[in-house]
Chains A and B, each alone.
Chain A
Amino acid sequence: MSATHRPTETPTPTKTPTTPTTPTTPTTTRTSPISPDDFAKAVAAERAAGVIPVRHTGRVVLGALAALATVLATASVARNPSFQWGTVGDYLFSSRIIDGLILTIWLTALSVALSFLIGTVLAVMRLSANPVLQAISWAYTWFFRSVPLLVQLLFWFNIGYLYPRLSFGIPFGPAWFSFETSELISSAAVAVIGLTIHESAYAAEIIRGGILSVDTGQLEAAEALGMHPRRVLGRIVLPQAMRVILPPAGSLLISTLKSTSMVSVIAVTDLLYAAQLIYNQNFLVIPLLMVATLWYLIMTSLLSIAQHFVEKRYARGFARTSGRGPARVPKPDSL
Chain B
Amino acid sequence: MAADVIRDDLTARPPAEAAEAAGAAAGGILIRSLTKSFGGGPRVLDGIDLTVERGQLICLVGPSGSGKSTLLRCVNLLESPDSGMIWVSGMLMGRHFDGHRVRALRPAEYRRQQSRIGMIFQQFNLFPHLTVLENIIEAPLSVRGVPRAEAVARAEELVARVGLAGRERAYPRELSGGQQQRIAIARALAMDPDVLLCDEPTSALDPELVGEVLNVLRDLAASGMTMVVVTHEMSFAREVADRVVFMAEGRIVEEGAPEQMFSHPREERTRNFLRRVL
Q: Does B268 contact A (CB under 8 A)?
A: no
Is the CB of A334 closer than 8 A to any CB of chain B?
yes
State which residues 181-238 of A face B: CB under 8 Å.
215, 217-218, 220-229, 231, 235-236
| B174 in the interface (beta carbon within 8 A) | yes
| A223 and B172 alpha carbons, distance in the complex (Å) | 19
**Is A239 part of the binding interface, using a Cβ–Cβ cutoff of 8 Å?**
yes
Task: Find chain B residues with CB under 8 A from A147 CB.
Answer: none
- A217-B125, A224-B76 given; A327·B173 CB < 8 A: yes
B209 near A221 with CB under 8 A, answer: no
Which residues between 145 and 191 of chain A lie within 8 Å of chain B, taking CB atoms?
Answer: none
B147 partner residues in chain A, CB cutoff 8 A:
none
- Determine the distance from Cα of A132 to Cα of B24 in the docked complex, in whole angstroms: 42
Q: Which residues of A contact B170 (CB under 8 A)?
A: 328
| In the bound complex, CA of A56 to CA of B223 (Å) | 69
Contacts of B163 in A (CB 8 A): 335
CB distance from B179 to the nearest CB of A (A): 7
**CB within 8 Å: A-B pair count:** 100
B129 / chain A contacts, CB cutoff of 8 Å: 239-240, 314, 316-318
- Decide: B143 and A225 in contact? CB cutoff 8 A: yes
Point out the residues of chain B lying under 8 angstroms from A328, CB to CB. Answer: 170, 174
Give every chain A residue within 8 A of B118 (Cβ-Cβ). 224
Any A CB within 8 A of the CB of B22: no
- Residues of chain A with a CB closer than 8 A to B257's CB: none
A3 to chain B, nearest CB (A): 31
Q: Counting CB contacts under 8 A, is B216 at the interface?
A: yes
Q: Could you tell me the distance between the alpha carbons of A327 and B138 in the complex, rounded to whole angstroms?
A: 23
Q: Interface residues of A: mostly helix, strand, loop or mixed?
A: loop
Which residues of the partner chain B approach A229 to less than 8 Å between Cβ atoms? Answer: 107
A86 within 8 A of B: no
Known: A218-B127, A221-B121. A335 touches B215 (CB 8 A): yes
Contact B138 A235 (CB under 8 A): yes
Q: A318 CA to B173 CA in the complex, in Å?
A: 7
Residues 74-111 of chain B, each 1 if its beta carbon lies under 8 Å from chain A, else 0: 00101000000000000000000000000000010001
Question: Would you call B55 an interface residue if the criterion is a C-beta within 8 Å of the partner chain's C-beta atoms?
Answer: no
**Chain A residues whose C-beta falls within 8 Å of the C-beta of B127 in the assembled complex:** 218, 221-222, 236, 240
The yes or no answer to A30 lying at the interface (CB within 8 A) is no
CA distance A105 to B174 in the complex (A): 41
- The answer to whether the Cβ of A331 comes within 8 Å of any Cβ in the partner chain is yes
- A224-B114, A225-B114 given; A335·B138 CB < 8 A: no
Is B176 a contact of A226 with CB atoms below 8 Å? no
Complex CA–CA separation, A332 to B178 (angstroms): 7
Which residue of chain B has its CB nearest to the CB of A129?
Answer: B1
Does A319 count as interface, using CB distance less than 8 angstroms? yes
A330 at interface, CB cutoff 8 A: yes
| Cα-based distance from A226 to B128 in the complex (angstroms) | 19
Contact A334 B138 (CB under 8 A): no
Interface set, chain B 233-258, CB cutoff 8 A to A: none
In whole angstroms, what is the CA distance A282 to B80 when docked? 74
Let me know if A317 and B172 touch, CB within 8 A.
yes
Judge whether B139 and A225 touch: CB under 8 Å: yes
- Note all chain A residues with C-beta closer than 8 A to B125: 215, 217-218, 220-221
B211's partner among A224, A225, A327, A334 (CB-CB below 8 A) is A334
**25 interchain pairs (CB within 8 A)?**
A217-B125, A221-B119, A221-B121, A225-B191, A226-B111, A226-B113, A226-B116, A226-B139, A235-B142, A240-B128, A314-B129, A316-B171, A317-B128, A317-B129, A317-B130, A318-B128, A319-B173, A327-B173, A328-B170, A330-B179, A331-B176, A334-B212, A335-B163, A335-B211, A335-B212
Closest 8 pairs (CB-CB, A-B) = A226-B115, A221-B125, A225-B139, A317-B171, A224-B119, A217-B125, A332-B176, A330-B176
Question: Given contacts A224-B78, A224-B118, A240-B128, could you give 16 more A-B pairs where the C-beta distance is less than 8 Å?
Answer: A217-B121, A220-B78, A220-B121, A221-B121, A226-B143, A227-B138, A227-B142, A228-B142, A228-B143, A231-B142, A236-B127, A314-B129, A317-B131, A318-B128, A322-B173, A333-B179
